[in-house]
Amino acid sequence: QKFYSSGSPFLTSISDGTTQVFYPSGNLAIMTFVDDSEGVCIVLDDVQPSCPIRAFFQSSGIAICYHSNGSTWLHMDPWGAQSLSEDGSKCKKWKWMDHAKKQIPFKPVYLSINKHVGVQVRGRKSVLVTFLASGQQARFKVGSCTKRVFVSQPNDTAPPLCEEDLMLRVSQLNARLALERLRWCVDAQTDAKRWPLNLPPNLVSEGRRLLKL
């Protein structure tokens, strides 16, 4: 665990791969965790009271970033990406394979989420989320990864969690629930039939397990 000079938390992490970065205000800025063997990174804005999600990245290559007004800024998948202006009037599209076949250098894309968080896109496998505030900094590699991530699962004989770890797991569960809602919203935009939001059984069981602690 790391702190700002003021004593407020800057970065916390636990053994299951969950990491949290906080703004100097105390609001959650970045969370990384493993969801069903896939790496996930979520970026939230430092705007009260909602602290909206500004970006999320998956190790499968799926990613989306939002402008401050909520409109889509950047959307990426394993095959290509598109970048849009805040009002949607300008759109730039590209395919990763085109640059590989034609050996054309990819022109990096830089996004300033806010005064503390930035996103650098240098290629399909080279995407960085950077954080800088009050003398503290952090970098997360969030590009497409071909390898799946596996972590050990907690068991009934594990030692009881301390208060900090418990709160971290609750925050992780909230982030995973937000991610499911975000995935549902993205799917709803491309599917005329709006399916009901069904939460994965593992999220439901994790929520019940935490309630018993």
Whether 207 maps to a domain, the answer reads no
Whether 172 maps to a domain, the answer reads no
Whether 180 maps to a domain, the answer reads no
Q: What's the pTM?
A: 0.70
Range of the domain at 85: 2-151
Look at the block and give the residue holding tokens 């085109």. Answer: 98
The CATH number that applies at residue 128 is 3.90.930
Whether 107 maps to a domain, the answer reads yes
pLDDT digits (tens, 9 = 90+) for 106-133: 888 999 999 999 999 998 889 999 999 9
Whether 134 maps to a domain, the answer reads yes
Whether 185 maps to a domain, the answer reads no
Structural domains of the chain, count: 1
pLDDT digits (tens, 9 = 90+) for 21-48: 999 999 999 999 887 778 889 999 998 8
Output DSSP code: residue 161: P
To the nearest 10 degrees (0 to 180), the angle between helices 163-190 and 201-212 is: 160
- Model pLDDT, residue 147: 46
Whether 46 maps to a domain, the answer reads yes
Structure tokens at 197: 């939001």
Whether 206 maps to a domain, the answer reads no
- N-term to C-term CA, the chain: 23
